[in-house]
Amino acid sequence: MGICSSSTNIAPTTTHNLSSVTGSSHTTNKTSSTSISSSGISSNVSGNSQFSSVSSGDDLGPGGQILAHPNLKIYTFSELKSATKNFRNDTILGEGGFGKVYKGWISSSVIAVKKLNSESMQGIEEWQAEVNFLGRLSHPNLVKLLGYCYEGKELLLVYEFMQRGSFENHLFGRGSTVQPLPWDIRLKIALGAARGLSFLHTSDKKVIYRDFKASNILLDGVS
């Protein structure tokens, strides 16, 4: 993997790993130019609530904010099917409890598309929780949810693409394309992840990310 400007983000995973200390609980992943993925969120969103906002916007320090309403694009299934080349196997970036994540291209932009597996234990309510809550989070160290698709039984989420992949791959991956990370870079990544977690933990919503691990820390650059 190439080396470029440092960026770490907590990546998007699934709603079951997010919880709150208070009655209104949510969880997510993403860090510094390190980003934490949204791997788990426990939410009080009911099956009847269609993408309703939860509360007013809270300013949470430099670069961090919880918006009053989700600011997301609605994609059609045909758009995302075309973007991922009909969800071809060679576009798969990873797979989790929610389903598979695909790399896609729309115009000149690269995206990550998470497609719900019809056999997944996670269903419409958890998908709604991600749309309702993750769509309101804004922070440099959290992977950004760009939009969603809901057509029939098809449930998909669209995230920004983190070009350097997971921190785990840089630590434990093998092959000529994987370059070992110097300790100063590892420290920068850790600090970026800490900033993302601090944003979540100090917010009024008391968001706790319960799936913090190297595979859920995504990098868009390393320097």
Q: Catalytic site residues?
A: 211
Q: What burial class does residue 50 get, using C-beta atoms within 10 Å of its C-beta: 0-12 exposed, 13-18 middle, 19+ buried?
A: exposed
Place of tokens 């600011």: 71
Is the Cβ–Cβ distance between 105 and 111 less than 8 Å? Answer: yes
> For residue 215, what are its two tokens?
């595979």
Looking at the chain, list the stretches that DSSP marks H as alpha helix, in order from N- to C-terminal side.
77-83, 124-129, 167-172, 183-201
Longest dimension (CA), the chain: 50
Separation CA 89–CA 146 (nearest Å): 23
Burial class of residue 76, CB neighbours in 10 A (0-12, 13-18, 19+): exposed
> Is the dihedral angle over the CA atoms 123, 136, 14, 112 positive or is it negative?
positive
